[in-house]
Amino acid sequence: MALKARVNGSSLFALPTRTFFLGLLPALVAGGALTAILADAGRYDLLPGLWLLLYGTAVVSAGAHAVRIVPIHGLCFMAFGVATLLAPSGFGDVAMALGFGGIHIAFGTVIARRYGG
């Protein structure tokens, strides 16, 4: 991101970047708070689905002013998070790998090819 900003004569602290990160922040803070609450209650089985769902929510919000594929990326995380919450509790580790690994690789490849990274 720093290299791309430098090439474009911009800064990582420019308005679009700040707007993006401010869009991420509320859902990530909610995820942190709910993680603490669920962990305290011993409900570790809900964490993978919650993390995927709220990360997707953060990406949709942050990507509202980005290229169209960014919010779609977030919607995929949200859908996968809901599916993970509905799946048997033993699916959490696989869901984390498929979600945070697979979805990021798939969309990262498309974004790199179509939008130059």
Query: Given this model, what pLDDT does residue 7 score?
Result: 73
Long-range contacts at 25-30 (CB < 8 A, ≥ 24 apart): 25/58, 26/58, 26/61, 27/54, 27/55, 27/57, 27/58, 27/61, 28/54, 28/55, 28/58, 30/54
Q: What percent of the chain has pLDDT over 90?
A: 68
**Tens of pLDDT along 14-67?**
667 778 888 889 999 999 999 999 999 999 999 999 999 999 999 999 888 888
pLDDT in the model for residue 21 = 84
Q: Residue 102 — pLDDT band, cuts 50, 70, 90?
A: very high
